[in-house]
């Protein structure tokens, strides 16, 4: 079994979250064992927890830089 880990800082309504959840819903479960690593307090936490193994880490959050490019 191949393990797949989706790392999402917060399971909220966003593009990356939708892609990860959609991929996880449609992946071949006979070949892949998938799970999520996420921060806490996302809108989609409860929904995702119903269908997937979720590991939550309070230190996982977005990093914002003050520099501009």
Q: What is the pLDDT of residues 19-60, one digit of tens each?
A: 999 999 999 999 999 999 999 888 998 889 999 999 999 888
Give the H or E element holding residue 2.
strand 2-8
Can you give the pTM of this predicted structure? 0.81
Strands 32-38 and 53-56: parallel
The answer to whether 32 and 2 are in contact (CB under 8 A) is yes
| pLDDT band, residue 69 (cuts 50/70/90) | low
State the virtual CA torsion across 54, 55, 59, 65 in degrees, nearest 10: -50
Give residue 27's pLDDT: 95
């Amino acid at each position: 079994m191949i393990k797949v880990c989706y790392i999402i800082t917060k399971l909220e309504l966003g593009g990356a979250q939708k892609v990860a959840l959609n991929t996880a819903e449609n992946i071949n479960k006979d070949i892949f064992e998938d799970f999520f690593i996420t921060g806490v307090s996302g809108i989609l936490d409860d929904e995702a927890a119903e269908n997937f193994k979720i590991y939550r880490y309070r230190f996982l959050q977005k990093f914002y830089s003050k520099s501009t490019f």
